Amino acid sequence: MELIKVTEQKEPHVALIELNRPKELNALNPQLMQEVRDALVTLDKNDGVRVIIITGNEQAFAAGADIKQMADKSAIDMLLLDQFTTWDQIRKTKKPIIAAVSGFALGGGCEFVMTCDMVIASETAKFGQPEIKIGTIPGAGGTQRLTKAVGKAKAMELILTGRFLSAEEAHFYGLVNKVVPKEMYLQEAFTLAKEIAQLSPVAVQLAKESINRSFETHLDEGLTLERKNFYLTFASADQKEGMKAFIEKRKPEFKGQ
Ligand code: HXC
C-alpha cells in the first residue's frame, strides 16, 4: 500500500484507513482507489474488525479526482479506464464505514465521503462538487447521492455553481452526522465507531444492507447515466480548457464546445 495507510485494530474492532498523498491534497487516482478497495475487501473478511474509519489529514480528506492525470484523456480513454468498477466494489463493503473529514472534500473526495455510511466533520471541513468549474461533472455518484442527501434545489446550486458548503451548512443539510472542533474529528469518529462495534456485527451489517437498499433502489440507473455524461464531457473542448487552466493556475475560458 503506497498511497494509503491501514491500521487493523487502532481500537478494538475498529480499523483505520488513512489516505496518504498529502502533497496533492489526497487527489484520488485509480491506484489510490484500488488500494482502498483492496484494504476494504481484506477488512471485510477480518472477523476482528467491525467498523472502519476512513480519513485524510487535517488539510484535506481529498480534493477530488487527480486532475493532472485526467486532463488529456478522451471520452473513450475514460470509458476504457473503467475506474468506477473499483468504486462499485467499495460500496459493496458489508461493514459500516465512517468518514472522518477535515479540510477539503471536493469532487471525487465529496463523492467518496458520500459513499461512506456516516460522516464526522471537523469545523474546518469544506464540501463541494466543483467539477463544473473545470468543464466536467461529477462522475462517482455526486449528482445522485448529493441530491438525495441535501435535496434537489441545494444539489442543483452546488453542482451547477461549484460552490463549497461549510461544515456547519453540510450538517444543516444532513450531509454530515456531527461537526466538532478540528482537534476532535478523528476521536469523535472513534467514539461513534466504538459504540457501533459493541453491538451485534451481524445485525449491524444487515441493518446497513437494508438502509442502503432503500437509499439505492434507483441509484444504479442514475449512476449509469451520470457516468456516460461524465465521459461525454471529455469529448468537449471546455473540459480540456478547464483542466488545462487549473494546471496552469489561470481562469478558464469556456466556449461551449
Ligand atoms: C490534482 C490537485 C488537485 C486535484 C489540488 N491539487 N487538487 N492535483 N488533482 N484534484 C494539487 C495542486 O495542483 C497543487 O499542486 C497542490 O495540490 C496544492 O493545491 P493548491 O491548489 O495549490 O492549494 P490551495 O490554493 O490551498 O487550493 C486548494 C483547492 C484547489 C481549493 C482544493 O487545489 C482546488 O480547487 N483543487 C481542485 C478541486 C477540484 O476541482 N476537484 C474536482 C476534480 S474533478 P502543485 O504541484 O501546484 O503544488 C473530480 C471528478 C470526479 O473530482 C470523478 C470521479 C472520480
pLDDT in tens, 198-233: 999 999 999 999 888 887 778 888 899 899 999 999
pLDDT given at position 244: 97
Q: How many residues does the chain have?
A: 257
Mean predicted lDDT score pLDDT of the chain = 96
Catalytic residue among 56, 64, 107, 108: 108
Alpha-carbon gap, residue 46 to 50, rounded angstroms: 8
110: Cβ contacts below 8 Å, ≥ 6 apart: 64, 127, 128, 129, 142, 146
Beta strands 51-55 and 14-19 are parallel
247: Cβ contacts below 8 Å, ≥ 6 apart: 67, 68, 71
3-state secondary structure of 177: coil
Distance 73 CA to ligand 1 centre (A): 17
pLDDT given at position 217: 76
Catalytic residue among 60, 65, 140, 245: 65
pLDDT given at position 252: 95
The secondary element (H helix, E strand) that includes residue 164 is strand 164-166
Residue 108 annotated to the active site: yes
pLDDT given at position 256: 83
Distance 116 CA to ligand 1 centre (A): 21
Asked if residue 177 has pLDDT above 90, the reply is yes
Alpha-carbon gap, residue 116 to 103, rounded angstroms: 17
Residue 65 annotated to the active site: yes
Residues with CB under 6 A from ligand 1: 24-25, 27, 63-68, 104, 106-108, 130-131, 134, 138-140
Residue 128 annotated to the active site: no
pLDDT given at position 222: 85
The mean per-residue pLDDT over the stretch 11-15 comes to: 93
Catalytic residue among 24, 27, 62, 131: 131
- φ/ψ of residue 54, rounded to 5: -115, 130
pLDDT given at position 218: 81
Q: Using one digit for the tens of pLDDT, what is the confidence trace for 66-80?
A: 999 999 999 999 999
Residue ranges of alpha helices (H) inside the chain are: 30-45, 67-70, 75-81, 84-90, 108-115, 142-150, 152-161, 167-172, 185-197, 201-216, 219-233, 237-247
Q: Using one digit for the tens of pLDDT, what is the confidence trace for 48-71?
A: 999 999 999 999 999 999 999 999
Task: State the Rg of the chain over Cα.
Answer: 18
Q: Using one digit for the tens of pLDDT, what is the confidence trace for 127-158?
A: 999 999 999 999 999 999 999 999 999 999 99
